[in-house]
Structure 1
Amino acid sequence: MTCEGYFGHRTRLYELDIYNNPEKIASIIVKAYEKGVRAMNIPNDSCLLDAIDIAKGQGADMKIIGTVGHTDVNYLAPNFKKAREEVDYLTDIEILSNYDTPLMLVDDILVDGYDWDYTAKVLEEIKDHNIIPGIITSYPFKTSRQLVDDCIDLDLFDFYMVPVNKIAYTMDVDFFVKEQQEELKTLLNQINKKVIISRILACGIQSPKEAFDFLEKLDYADMVTVSAASEREADETFGLLLNK
């Protein structure tokens, strides 16, 4: 489960409905937990952390996959330099490490700026906290091509989160058909990390059944992160996913 704040065309509706409402977010977390979800991907956000505390008090004791370096910079038209200047990744690591956080991922707003020395520094800091490190990208092809060209020491991280969905929504290709699917599979196999799939629902454009039927074909997927913005969505989405 993810509590990252990007839902594509529905982002603004969700912002109005659930942001800054930790009680409502907690109710979704509790429902997800009831359906069998045991981990959440979140950035350092006080509202989300309050929601996690509320949900834990109701018996939903989630592990945290922390996102390090999340900022308020516009992710649709990112200013990567500004993001690096604004981010306080040390504070993110310190706060998130107070929770049951076995894994932390460097945010795509940092990774996709391709300042690999900077990314390496953040990964090393995560490792110094005895937490498993990983990276996130919004550009599965562009970033993966750089990774196979040894732009960074691949031993610095163990997990790699990439957006993948059947219709190529928010991916860096126009289509995701056989040719592109095979290329991405080859790249990911070369990188040889645990792969976390994000945006499998294409930010709500695809139904859970359509998305999860496609997910079953991705033999390189080790984990998947899925958003839900209501108890009803959590019941439907996670109920279907965990019964696959």
Structure 2
Amino acid sequence: MILGTAPFTAESYFGHRSRLYHLDLEINSGNVAKIIKKANENGVNAINLVNNDNLIESYEKVVKDNEIAVIGTVGKTIIDYVNPDYEKAKNVDWKKDIKLLAKYNTPIMLVDEFITDSYDFELIEEILKEIKKQGAFAGLITAYPYKTTEKLLDSPILDLFDFYMIPVNKLGYMMDTKVFLEKEREDLANLIKKIDKKIIINKILACGIQHPEEAFNFLKKLDYADMVTIGVASENEAETDFKLLKNI
């Protein structure tokens, strides 16, 4: 289990809740630190960390007394999910992110989805190789589990990464498919098996739309899932959701 951090950075895809997350979490490192600590108390020993000042401050408050590994995201930028500006994404100072993440216990670093989904394989190769120089496992994040996986299978970087984070949930929410029924699920499973990487599932709760118990029961059926990242917005959610996931 990996603690997701999208609520902590008030990602825009949460809609009206983004404003609440901004006030309660994004500008309040104390509240975020409490949630990280509560998640850790409930068996979560890793966090998906991005280069965000408040988030880094929150993590450092907790990690002094708790062993929490970092699954780092490299090259995170504020991008419109509906109309992504890939050129802006590619111009981020990703070397700064790698240098920052390398300060912590960071066994895995993942290239942000808006760089991955730009399909600039020359740039992605450069980032992956720099990650490996730090002694970390390298991976990719995508927002498009169908389209990007197909492109990666024929790409020159296929052998340069070990981990692959993809959005999957029962509703098909924020996935590149109009429906996500039996055929679509089987098609995705076949693609993921072909790419042969360690798979990290994100958005399993469909950005809070799906009830946790239903989402986690669906997760159990995904035989290609090696890890899952789950974002929570309160100490109560951390305790409830992670206990539930452990018991399913």
- Deviation per CA, 1:54-101, whole angstroms, max 9, x where unpaired? 1123x332100000000123233210012212x111010001100000
Pairwise mapping of residues 152-171 of structure 1 onto structure 2 (< 5 A)?
A: 152-171=156-175
How far did residue 31 of structure 1 move?
Answer: 0.3
Counterpart CA distance in 2 for 1:77 and 1:204 is 22
What's the counterpart of residue 82 of structure 2? Answer: 76
> Which amino acid letter does the alignment assign opposite residue 3 of structure 1?
T
| SS of the residue 1:104 aligns to | strand
Q: Is 1:20 aligned with 2:27?
A: yes
Unmatched tracts of structure 2, length 5 or more? none
Match of 1:99 among 101, 104, 118: 104
Match of 1:122 among 118, 124, 127: 127
Counterpart CA distance in 1 for 2:156 and 2:165 is 16
How far did residue 13 of structure 1 move?
Answer: 2.4
What's the counterpart of residue 11 of structure 1? Answer: 18
Counterpart CA distance in 2 for 1:23 and 1:61 is 18
Counterpart CA distance in 2 for 1:13 and 1:238 is 22
What's the counterpart of residue 49 of structure 1? Answer: 56
How far did residue 104 of structure 1 move?
Answer: 0.2
Match of 2:68 among 49, 62, 74: 62
Counterpart CA distance in 1 for 2:30 and 2:79 is 26
Unmatched tracts of structure 1, length 5 or more? none
How far did residue 117 of structure 1 move?
Answer: 1.1
What's the counterpart of residue 232 of structure 1? Answer: 236
| SS of the residue 1:51 aligns to | helix
Q: Is 1:2 aligned with 2:7?
A: no
Counterpart CA distance in 1 for 2:37 and 2:120 is 38
What's the counterpart of residue 131 of structure 1? Answer: 136
How far did residue 136 of structure 1 move?
Answer: 0.1
What's the counterpart of residue 42 of structure 2? Answer: 35
What's the counterpart of residue 110 of structure 1? Answer: 115
What's the counterpart of residue 213 of structure 1? Answer: 217
TM-score, normalized by length of structure 2?
Answer: 0.94
> Which amino acid letter does the alignment assign opposite residue 127 of structure 1?
K
How far did residue 20 of structure 1 move?
Answer: 1.7
Counterpart CA distance in 2 for 1:190 and 1:11 is 36
What's the counterpart of residue 193 of structure 2? Answer: 189
TM-score, normalized by length of structure 1?
Answer: 0.95
Moved over 6 A (4+): none
- Deviation per CA, 1:176-195, whole angstroms, max 9, x where unpaired? 11111011000011000000
> Which amino acid letter does the alignment assign opposite residue 2 of structure 1?
G
> Which amino acid letter does the alignment assign opposite residue 175 of structure 2?
M
Q: Are the aligned partners of 2:112 and 2:141 in contact in 1 as well (CA < 8 Å)?
A: yes
Q: Are the aligned partners of 2:121 and 2:157 in contact in 1 as well (CA < 8 Å)?
A: no
Counterpart CA distance in 1 for 2:143 and 2:25 is 24
What's the counterpart of residue 177 of structure 1? Answer: 181
Q: Are the aligned partners of 2:98 and 2:131 in contact in 1 as well (CA < 8 Å)?
A: yes
Q: Is 1:88 aligned with 2:93?
A: yes
How far did residue 12 of structure 1 move?
Answer: 2.9
Q: Are the aligned partners of 1:75 and 1:109 in contact in 2 as well (CA < 8 Å)?
A: no
Counterpart CA distance in 2 for 1:46 and 1:8 is 21
Task: Tell me the matched-pair count.
Answer: 241
